[in-house]
């Protein structure tokens, strides 16, 4: 595998042609090419200069998913008024902090089984003063992006390096590229409970074995078995486009801004691009993970494309 590092952008590729690009800003995966095709959606008007979280690829959400504009707490249980994350921006600070590149490792298990792993780190001392104040915990994050011929894996290790417990949420906010949202179905959500953020954070049970996206969709599915893949498939031929398994991440957010919301997001473009994406976000967001002093937690996702 070859790896290049330039201007805060790390690119890795395999001899078989697959590649991945990661920006140190947010440790955001901005591109994953496999089978000669881009697999991740990137907004044409995304900010790539570190002025705003990157709209596309895989922004990493930590230590909170909270959207102060939504009364989502009413459902997930109110945090204390002075909860440690209450003064952080929506989706936390990981996606708008600059990470460090810790290095690469590659393995060649057998013929065609080449893998390259890129590791990124973020710690309390690396945060801006504003974020350090807003979340005064000593933490260490190691984010690993592993590219193989068949899959892209992203995993996060969180370590509590302080003397007190802290609580966190995490979300791998993956923007999958699709040709036409009308032809997309999301499978393996049937009978699962979800919070509908578009409908006042009300609770529902998924009735569809193959969810179609036909309007603004923003749902937090909870209590999923991480080993059961979420399959994004093509409706016309019932073929899988993506299959996502998780480790220690039992929630999955399904998000598409649809017409009006897409127009309202200044860094989402062109307006019609909502047809070319679906966010399937593996995470742990419906409850808080508590991490005791000295402990580590790890969670991740593995995405296979056009199987």
Cβ count near 111 (within 10 Å): 6
Question: If binding is defined by CB under 6 A, does position 25 make contact with ligand BG6?
Answer: no
Instruction: Give yes or no for a contact between 116 and 21, defined as CB atoms under 8 angstroms apart.
Output: no
For the residues of 199-254, what is the DSSP string, one character each?
TTTEEEE---SEEE--S-EEEEE-S--TTSPEEEEETTT--EEEEEEEES--EEEE
What is the Cα–Cα distance from 130 to 107, expressed in whole angstroms? 40
Residue 112 Cα distances to 7, 39, 239, angstroms: 31, 20, 24
Choice from 122, 127, 158, 253 touching ligand BG6 (CB under 6 A): 253
C-beta closer to ligand BG6: residue 7 or 49: 49
95 annotated as a binding-site residue: yes
281 noted as active-site residue: yes
Tell me whether residue 90 is annotated as binding: yes
Residue of minimal Cβ distance to ligand BG6 = 255
Q: Is 202 in the site for ligand BG6 (CB under 6 A)?
A: no
CA pair distance 98, 171, nearest whole angstrom: 18
Q: Does 185 bind ligand BG6 (CB under 6 A)?
A: no
Is residue 83 flagged as an active site residue? no
Give the rounded distance of the alpha carbon of 192 from its chain centre.
20
φ/ψ (deg, to 5) at 223: 65, 40
Can residue 187 be called a binding residue for ligand BG6 (CB under 6 A)? Answer: no
Residues touching ligand BG6: how many (CB under 6 A)?
Answer: 9
- Under the binding rule (CB under 6 A), the answer on residue 117 touching ligand BG6 is no
Classify residue 78 by its DSSP letter.
Answer: P
User: Of all helices (H) and strands (E), which one includes residue 303?
Assistant: strand 296-305
Binds ligand BG6 (CB under 6 A): choice among 135, 194, 255, 274: 255
Binding to ligand BG6 (CB under 6 A): which residues in 213-252? 218
Distance CA 44, CA 273 (A): 9
Considering only 90, 105, 193, 289, the residue that binds ligand BG6 (CB under 6 A) is: 90
- Residue 281 as a binder of ligand BG6 (CB under 6 A): the answer is yes
Residue 91 interacts with ligand BG6 (CB under 6 A): yes or no: yes
Q: Considering the complex, what minimum distance in angstroms separates the CB of residue 156 from ligand BG6?
A: 16
Of the residues 4, 37, 67, 239, which one makes contact with ligand BG6 according to CB under 6 A: 67
Enumerate binding residues for ligand BG6 (CB under 6 A). Answer: 67, 90-91, 173, 197, 218, 253, 255, 281
Residues with active-site annotation? 173, 281
> Which residues carry a binding-site annotation?
55, 90, 95
> Which residues carry a binding-site annotation for substrate?
55, 90, 95
């Amino acid at each position: 595998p070859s790896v290049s590092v330039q201007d805060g952008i790390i690119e890795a590729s395999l001899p078989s042609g697959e590649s991945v690009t990661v920006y140190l800003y947010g440790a955001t995966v901005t591109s994953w090419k496999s089978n000669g095709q881009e697999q991740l959606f990137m907004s044409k008007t995304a900010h790539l200069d570190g002025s705003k979280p990157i709209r596309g690829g895989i922004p990493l959400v930590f230590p909170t998913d909270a959207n102060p504009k939504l009364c989502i707490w009413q459902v997930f249980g109110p945090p204390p008024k002075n909860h440690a994350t209450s003064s952080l921006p929506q989706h936390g600070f990981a996606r708008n902090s600059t990470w460090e590149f810790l290095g690469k490792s590659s393995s060649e298990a057998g013929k065609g089984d080449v893998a390259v792993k890129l590791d990124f780190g973020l710690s309390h001392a690396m945060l801006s003063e504003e974020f350090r104040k807003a979340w005064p915990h000593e933490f260490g994050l190691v984010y690993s992006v592993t590219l193989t011929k068949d899959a892209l894996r992203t995993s996060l290790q969180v370590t509590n390096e302080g003397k007190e417990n802290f609580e966190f949420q995490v979300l791998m906010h993956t923007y999958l590229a699709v040709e036409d949202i009308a032809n997309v179905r999301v499978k393996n959500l049937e009978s699962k409970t979800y919070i509908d953020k578009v409908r006042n954070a009300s609770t529902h049970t998924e009735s569809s074995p193959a969810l179609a996206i036909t309007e603004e969709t923003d749902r937090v599915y909870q209590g999923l078995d991480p080993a059961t893949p979420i399959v994004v498939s093509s409706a016309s031929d019932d073929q899988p486009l993506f299959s996502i398994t998780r480790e220690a991440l039992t929630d999955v957010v399904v998000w598409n801004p649809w017409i009006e919301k897409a127009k309202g997001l200044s860094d989402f473009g062109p307006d019609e691009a909502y047809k070319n994406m679906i966010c399937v976000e593996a995470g742990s967001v419906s409850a808080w993970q508590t991490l005791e002093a000295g402990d580590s937690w790890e969670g991740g996702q593995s995405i296979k494309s056009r199987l």
